[in-house]
């Protein structure tokens, strides 16, 4: 069984250097939290998620879930672990203190989510989606709905889902047909079929709160006519306790490549009682509150599984004896072979850069919702808007890549399920797909985020990267390679950015979106590791861990960052070539 050791020191390092934790803890909402408390929370959480939560990962993958008499049944081992998770309060760390939460910053919650997700991705999807629903209700729900549902959602006594997709409405949610008919008591009768509903039913919590997109009568066509409804699995009685079963049927559960322990449900709503969230026809706007948070969390999933795959591969490489390393007369651990070592260094560099990117986005989210001034909130909101599609797409693409590398380190054993390496790949493969495919994220980045404020948002980010050059120059020879490669990469990303922001050819811009997303994500990773190296450099003589930080940043800059130069041709090459072949000659 693969073990998991949460990288607490690196989490704290990134929270400090990239997330600017000191500044966040000085925001008005977080005066009750100090760095000592954060360190204690992360240390205790590491014990819980490594010792209690992580052992369920292989069990859940092997046993999966079942549908019996219309209800989803989880593995027996999940129930006591879920109870311990709820009792421990880990899911309530960032929840509002007004509803029983602890009111910690999002950045700290994300660090805890990283541990939970590394420990068991499939299981962690319950709190992740519940957290998104909490955010949605907090920002858009009525006082009555908040009072009835928030406390139990924050504690995870009840859990939440996102109920969007229909057979004919995947990425195009404007095609939704689920109906919402007003009842005399102010509620709505919700009818329709929804698919791909993660944790749409289970036997772990007392109630499941579905956030459902549907159309009211005479609603405008397309996305402008979609409303959002809260639909509980059990209606509440006068005391607010779950009572009668709502008209929701679990039609089936999907058989999937990975995340076997997470039930992916087809749900049928047959006049189910629902409650309007906010105003009619504003559902898409509200849902994006939930989806943007979920997209950052999915980026975190790419990081989390990469960390687990990297740890697993490194441990195997230290133990597996095969061949003789150069200069050795005895069988050597494969970690001593150059190609294996390069693979592990690549896994390490990508994983640490992903952590920086995701935590940077979470820090912007904290500032957005808690800063003193409107100007600070505006700047943070722009930075979050820019980083979210990058974090979601680049981190999940790299997560798949790192998990694949993990299998490669294991060699033939990696292809055998018993090794555990294959599960990480199977599980993480969904992350570039759900919560908005990575292609859609890339198009969002190019078509919406680059033009923000007439290009000023991306310009500020690139200028921030360029401003690091002076510090790297002062650092001298130890970071000379980092300085050179970061400067060269920034220039080529600038060129692509300028072309994409100025081209009148919409099809050409969309055709270049995915390679550009990879360029910008790769640059961001190199930038954050360079910042980390500058912080670590004064300590390298006395602290090998800090020395490894500098080495990792240098490896990334000289081995991975140059990839941006090979991507610019496809980023700005236009669309003529990719549309030059008639569709009938593609695939046949």
User: pLDDT tens digits, residue range 17-74?
Assistant: 999 999 999 999 999 999 999 999 999 999 999 999 999 999 999 999 999 999 999 9
The SS3 assignment for 262 reads: coil
Whole-number Å distance between alpha carbons of 536 and 353: 15
- Going 265 to 268 to 274 to 276, the CA torsion angle's sign is positive
pLDDT value, residue 155: 98
Flag whether 31 is in a domain: no
Flag whether 385 is in a domain: no
Flag whether 396 is in a domain: no
pLDDT value, residue 329: 77
Residues involved in catalysis: 435
Q: Which position has the token pair 């019996």? A: 68
pLDDT value, residue 499: 98
Indicate the residue among 253, 281, 309 that finishes a domain.
Answer: 281
Query: At 207, which CATH number?
Result: 2.40.110.20
pLDDT value, residue 290: 73
Enter the pTM of the model: 0.96
CA dihedral in degrees (52, 398, 436, 463; nearest 10)? 120
Max CA-CA distance within the chain? 84
pLDDT value, residue 375: 97
Indicate the residue among 255, 281, 307 that finishes a domain.
Answer: 281
Task: Identify which of 532, 223, 475, 504 has the alpha carbon closest to the alpha carbon of residue 355.
Answer: 532
| Residue 178: domain span | 55-88+120-281
What pLDDT, in 10s, does the model give residues 163-198? Answer: 999 999 888 888 899 999 999 999 999 999 999 999
Flag whether 105 is in a domain: no
Flag whether 11 is in a domain: no
Indicate the residue among 281, 309, 324 that finishes a domain.
Answer: 281
pLDDT value, residue 351: 99
DSSP string, 166-177: BTTBSS-GGG--
Whole-number Å distance between alpha carbons of 514 and 308: 26
pLDDT value, residue 357: 99
pLDDT value, residue 289: 76
pLDDT value, residue 169: 86
Flag whether 139 is in a domain: yes
In which element (H, E) is residue 267 found? strand 264-276
pLDDT value, residue 514: 99
CA distance readout (Å), 457 to 109, 330, 345, 391, 460: 26, 57, 33, 16, 5
Flag whether 250 is in a domain: yes
Taking 70 as the pLDDT cut, the residues of the chain under it are 1
Flag whether 384 is in a domain: no
Whole-number Å distance between alpha carbons of 113 and 559: 30
Whole-number Å distance between alpha carbons of 196 and 424: 21
- How many structural domains is the chain composed of? 2
């Amino acid at each position: 069984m693969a073990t998991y050791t949460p990288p607490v020191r690196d989490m704290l390092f990134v929270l400090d250097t990239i997330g600017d934790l000191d500044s966040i803890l000085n925001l008005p909402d977080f005066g009750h939290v100090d760095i000592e408390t954060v360190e204690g929370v992360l240390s205790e959480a590491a014990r819980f998620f490594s010792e209690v939560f992580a052992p369920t990962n292989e069990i859940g993958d092997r046993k999966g879930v079942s549908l019996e008499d219309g209800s989803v049944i989880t593995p027996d081992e999940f129930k006591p672990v879920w109870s311990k998770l709820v009792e421990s309060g880990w899911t309530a760390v960032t929840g509002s203190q007004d509803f029983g939460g602890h009111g910690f910053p999002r950045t700290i919650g994300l660090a805890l989510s990283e541990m939970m997700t590394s420990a068991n991705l499939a299981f962690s999807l319950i709190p992740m989606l519940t957290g998104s629903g909490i955010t949605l209700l907090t920002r858009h729900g009525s006082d009555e709905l908040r009072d009835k549902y928030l406390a139990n959602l924050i504690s995870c006594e009840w859990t939440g889902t996102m109920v969007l997709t229909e057979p004919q409405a995947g990425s195009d949610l404007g095609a939704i047909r689920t109906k919402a008919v007003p009842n005399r008591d102010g509620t709505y009768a919700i009818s329709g079929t929804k698919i791909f509903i993660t944790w749409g039913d289970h036997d772990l919590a007392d109630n499941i709160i579905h956030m459902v997109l549907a159309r009211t009568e005479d609603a405008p066509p397309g996305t402008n006519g979609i409303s959002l409804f809260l639909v509980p699995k059990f209606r509440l009685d006068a005391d607010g306790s779950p009572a009668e079963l709502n008209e929701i049927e679990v039609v089936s559960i999907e058989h999937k490549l990975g995340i076997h322990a997470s039930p992916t449900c087809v749900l049928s709503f047959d006049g189910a009682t629902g409650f309007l969230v906010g105003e009619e026809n504003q559902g898409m706007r509200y849902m994006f509150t939930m989806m943007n948070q979920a997209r950052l969390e999915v980026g975190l999933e790419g990081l989390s599984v990469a960390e687990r795959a990297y740890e697993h591969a490194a441990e195997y490489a230290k133990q597996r004896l095969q061949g003789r390393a150069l200069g050795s007369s005895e069988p050597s651990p494969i970690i001593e072979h150059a190609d294996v070592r390069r693979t592990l260094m690549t896994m390490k560099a990508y994983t640490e850069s992903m952590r920086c990117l995701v935590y940077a986005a979470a820090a912007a989210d904290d500032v957005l919702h808690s800063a003193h001034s409107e100007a600070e909130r505006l700047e943070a909101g722009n930075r979050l808007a820019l980083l979210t599609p990058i974090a979601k797409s680049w981190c999940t693409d790299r997560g798949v890549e790192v998990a694949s590398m993990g299998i490669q380190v294991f060699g033939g054993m990696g292809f055998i399920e018993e090794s555990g390496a294959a599960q990480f790949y199977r599980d993480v493969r969904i992350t570039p797909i759900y919560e908005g495919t990575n292609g859609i994220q890339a198009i969002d980045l190019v078509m919406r985020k680059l033009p923000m404020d007439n290009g000023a948002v991306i310009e500020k980010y690139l200028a921030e990267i360029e401003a690091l050059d002076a510090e790297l120059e002062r650092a001298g020879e130890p970071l000379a390679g980092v300085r050179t490669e970061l400067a060269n990469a920034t220039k080529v990303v600038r060129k692509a950015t300028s072309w994409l922001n100025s081209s009148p050819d919409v099809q050409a811009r969309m055709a270049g979106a995915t390679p550009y997303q990879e360029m910008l994500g790769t640059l961001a990773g190199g930038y954050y590791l360079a910042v980390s190296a500058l912080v670590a450099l004064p300590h390298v003589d006395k602290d090998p861990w800090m020395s490894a930080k500098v080495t990792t940043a240098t490896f990334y800059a000289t081995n991975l960052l140059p990839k941006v130069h090979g991507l610019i041709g496809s980023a700005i090459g236009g669309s003529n070539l990719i549309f030059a072949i008639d569709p009938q000659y593609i695939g046949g």
